[in-house]
């Protein structure tokens, strides 16, 4: 073999150059990896699986358009089983083993809370997914929560204001003993105190509660004018059933407020007419107009039917698709995967999404919150199609989307036609 000095130097130089290439530059040959954990089993599993359908739709859509920065998007997701203890481990794996480029938070407050210290410590951009006040104490400046609420006031305001209009003087609180419900309960307590509404019943219940009849009896004995409930899906179903069986009292003007689960189609379908009269928060109800949402819901319905998940998908899926849209805009806007630059872009620009334009405030929450309080009316049993049309959930707040006034008292509203 003929080794000349020039050939040897050339080979050494080329090897050194290749080894010295920045890791990021070499990685550009591969896909852009986006990772998350999602509750796919456990109490938030039904919502989580529906949300995943929407995120996968965005991944397919963006890949059809050529991906991000000319690279294909790869989506990695693990089931956290709605168990917050699993979340830090999953995200450590996503970052250190799977080497993902971008992160999305799991759906919900409870699974997201343990993730916050990690992303703050590592200075990572995190797109929030229907969390509530998880950044209030951590104050991470690269957190962008996609949910229509901001602080506790933005969530319970519509419920309390409508109660006030109806002349309510007393309120009962029933809250699950966990992060989300307690944050919401504290806000609602403050709001009602400011409004001069006295709390006559205030109970936290543990997540292992199997039957709520005793609690409902306690509320009935306290004779409140309003009942504000903060519950997770399984509890919400049991509470609605217990109210129907035990009765909540003829003096109650409004019931509901913060019940998670009454937005999920299988639960709405199974409860049917028992929902009538309940005023509860929501993120989207038919009749609200945003560019692209109807096309999305049409395409989602087909995918959801194949995946056997929430067939309507009004609550979480559009917002999860919007998370993808925001990431896409931030990457294209900065022409990079630099998380600091992307965070800066998200902070300064208004994002165009299928759930309307989104602008973030300093704490990474929606600057213009838009929690809908809607009253179920005229719902019949065993009919999923009824929920596709406007009218079964009458929006009583905010005024921009209002489609009717709240009917009170609660017992009367239960009999009202849609």
Partner 1 sequence: MIFSLDLLFEALLFGVLLGCFYAAVSIGLSVSFGLLDVPHVAHPAVMILGSYFTYVLTGYGLDPIVAGVVLMPAFFVLGIVIYRFYYETFEKRGTEAAVRGLAFFFGLAFIIEVGLILGFGVDQRTVHAPYIGSSLSLGEYRIPYRMLVAFGVALVLTFTLTVYLSKTFTGRAIKAVAQDEPALRLMGANPVRIKQWAFGIATGVSALAGAMLIIVGPVEPAMDRLYIGRTFCVVVLAGLGSMTGTLAAGLILGIAESIVLMMLGASWAPAVAFGLLLIVLGIRPQGLFGR
Provide the binding-site residues for partner 1, judged by CB under 8 A.
Answer: 40-43, 45-46, 49, 81, 177, 201, 203-206, 208-211, 213-215, 217-218, 221-222, 233-234, 237-238, 241-242, 244-247, 264, 266-267, 270, 274, 308-310
The whole-angstrom separation of Cα 201 and Cα 172 is 4
Q: Which two tokens stand for residue 152?
A: 């506790």
Query: What is the maximal distance between C-alpha atoms in the chain?
Result: 100
The residue (of 294 and 381) whose beta carbon lies closer to partner 1 is: 381
Nearest to 400 by CA among 287, 297, 316: 287
SS3 of 376, please? strand
- Directed axis angle between helix 293-307 and helix 45-64, to 10°? 120
Q: Minimal distance in Å, beta carbon 81 to partner 1?
A: 7
Least Å distance between CB 164 and partner 1?
24
* Shortest distance in whole angstroms from residue 50 CB to partner 1: 10
What distance in Å separates the CA atoms of residue 91 and residue 82, rounded to the nearest whole number? 14
Of residues 237 and 252, the one with the C-beta less far from partner 1:
237
Looking at beta carbons only, is 240 or 371 nearer to partner 1?
240
173: nearest Cα among 235, 240, 218, 234 = 218
Cis before residue 398, ω within 30 degrees of 0? yes
Tell me whether residue 163 or residue 261 sits nearer to partner 1 (CB atom).
261
Q: Which is nearer to partner 1, 68 or 240 (CB)?
A: 240
284 closest CA partner among 202, 356, 349: 356
User: Quick check: 170 and 193 in contact, CB under 8 A?
Assistant: no
Q: What is the DSSP letter of 365?
A: S
Q: In angstroms, what is the minimal distance from the CB of 349 to partner 1? A: 36
Q: Least distance in Å: CB of 348 to partner 1?
A: 39
Q: In terms of CB distance, is 244 or 282 closer to partner 1?
A: 244
The minimum distance between CB 111 and partner 1, in angstroms, equals 14
């Amino acid at each position: 073999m003929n080794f000349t000095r020039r050939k040897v130097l050339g080979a050494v130089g080329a090897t050194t150059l290749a080894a010295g290439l920045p890791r990021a530059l070499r990685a550009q040959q591969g896909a852009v990896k986006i990772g998350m954990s999602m509750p796919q089993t456990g109490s938030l599993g039904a919502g989580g699986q529906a949300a995943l359908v929407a995120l996968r739709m965005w991944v397919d859509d963006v890949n059809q358009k050529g991906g991000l920065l000319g690279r294909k998007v790869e989506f990695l997701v693990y089931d956290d089983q709605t168990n917050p203890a699993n979340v830090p481990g999953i995200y450590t794996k996503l970052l250190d083993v799977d080497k993902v480029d971008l992160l999305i938070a799991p759906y919900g407050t409870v699974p997201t809370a343990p993730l916050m210290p990690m992303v703050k410590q590592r200075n990572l951009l995190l797109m929030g997914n229907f969390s509530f006040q998880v950044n209030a104490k951590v104050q991470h400046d690269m957190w962008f929560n996609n949910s229509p609420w901001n602080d506790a006031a933005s969530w319970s305001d519509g419920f309390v204001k409508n109660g006030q209009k109806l002349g309510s003087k007393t309120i009962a609180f029933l809250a699950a003993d966990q992060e989300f419900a307690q944050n919401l309960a504290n806000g609602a307590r403050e709001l009602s105190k400011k409004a001069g509404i006295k709390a006559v019943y205030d109970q936290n219940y543990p997540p292992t509660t199997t039957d709520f009849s005793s609690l409902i009896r306690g509320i009935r004995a306290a004779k409140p004018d309003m009942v504000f409930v903060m519950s997770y899906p399984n509890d919400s179903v049991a509470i609605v059933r217990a109210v129907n069986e035990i009765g909540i009292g003829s003096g109650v003007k409004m019931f509901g407020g913060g019940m998670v689960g009454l937005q999920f189609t299988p639960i709405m379908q199974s409860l049917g007419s028992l929902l009538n009269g309940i005023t509860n928060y929501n993120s989207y109800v038919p009749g609200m107009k945003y560019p692209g949402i109807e096309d999305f819901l049409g395409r989602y319905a087909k995918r959801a039917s194949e995946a056997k998940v929430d067939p309507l998908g009004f609550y979480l899926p559009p917002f999860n698709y919007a998370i993808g849209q925001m990431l896409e805009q931030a990457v294209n806007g900065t022409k990079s995967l630099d998380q600091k630059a992307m965070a800066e872009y998200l902070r300064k620009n208004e994002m165009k999404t299928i759930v309307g334009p989104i602008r973030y405030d300093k704490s990474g929450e929606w600057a213009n919150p838009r929690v809908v309080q809607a009253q179920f009316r005229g719902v019949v049993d065993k009919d999923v199609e009824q929920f596709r049309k406007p009218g079964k959930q009458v929006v009583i707040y905010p005024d921009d989307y209002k489609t009717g006034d709240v009917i009170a008292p609660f017992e009367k509203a239960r009999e009202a036609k849609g």
